[in-house]
């Protein structure tokens, strides 16, 4: 590590410890030439994940968009924000752990709907209506019928 004071290319590590949020390592270093101390941070390099939109545009993945979409779908519903944050964390981990550099917005939408369906059916239908761009009342009814049929199947199994 190059010294920020004298430019000497070598230093020694005096102390290493994780940062408070455990996302990087803080290192105290001492220049081997001038003896001055400085701090560096070591982080895992994260390559950006791109989301492929319906019109084939690409934009950088933003986990906050998932949370905002669910918050909107859960407006005036008895769903705690903590639950939505946990769902967002699960989806975020799944996307990052897939090791794919690109993901479609359709895949993300399906993950969100899969989770919302188990949390609040009204929020699920709201999210699905925007996500799937229901054209008319018949499309909306088809989705509701599908949901009702799944509920009946669940009840029969128990």
Q: What radius of gyration, in Å, describes the C-alpha atoms of the chain?
A: 24
Residue of 6, 4, 85, 102 whose CA lies nearest to 47: 102
Residue of 67, 60, 62 whose CA lies nearest to 115: 67
The SS3 of residue 113 is helix
Q: What is the pLDDT of residue 94?
A: 93
Q: How far apart are the two ends of the chain, measured CA to CA in Å?
A: 63
What residue has token string 């003896």? 35
What residue has token string 């319906």? 54
| Contact by Cβ (8 Å): 54, 105 | yes
pLDDT tens digit at each of 158 positions of the chain: 899 999 999 999 999 999 887 878 999 999 999 999 999 999 877 779 999 998 999 999 999 999 999 999 999 999 999 999 999 999 999 998 888 899 999 999 999 999 998 999 889 888 888 777 766 677 777 777 887 888 777 777 76
Write down the domain spans for the chain: 11-43, 50-157
Cα atoms in the 13 Å half-sphere on the side-chain side of 66:
30
Residue 106 buriedness (CB in 10 A; 0-12 / 13-18 / 19+): middle
Q: What is the pLDDT of residue 63?
A: 93
| Angle in degrees, CA 133, 113, 85, rounded to 5 | 120
Q: Which two tokens stand for residue 142?
A: 């088809």
Q: What is the pLDDT of residue 157?
A: 76
Q: What is the pLDDT of residue 135?
A: 67
What residue has token string 């895949």? 107
**Residues 27, 14: Cα–Cα separation, whole Å:** 7
């Amino acid at each position: 590590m190059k010294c920020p004071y004298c430019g000497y290319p070598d230093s020694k590590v005096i102390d290493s410890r994780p940062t408070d949020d455990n996302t990087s390592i803080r290192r105290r270093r001492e220049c081997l030439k001038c003896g001055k101390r400085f701090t560096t941070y070591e982080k895992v390099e994260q390559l950006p994940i791109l989301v492929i939109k319906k019109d084939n545009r690409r934009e950088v993945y933003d986990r906050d968009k998932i949370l905002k979409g669910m918050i909107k779908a859960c407006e005036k519903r008895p769903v705690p924000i903590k639950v939505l944050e946990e769902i967002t964390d699960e989806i975020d981990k799944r996307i990052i752990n897939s090791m794919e550099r690109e993901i479609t917005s359709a895949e993300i939408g399906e993950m969100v709907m899969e989770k919302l369906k188990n949390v609040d059916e009204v929020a699920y239908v709201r999210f699905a209506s925007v996500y799937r761009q229901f054209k008319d009342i018949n499309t909306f009814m088809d989705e509701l019928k599908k949901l009702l049929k799944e509920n009946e199947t669940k009840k029969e199994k128990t």
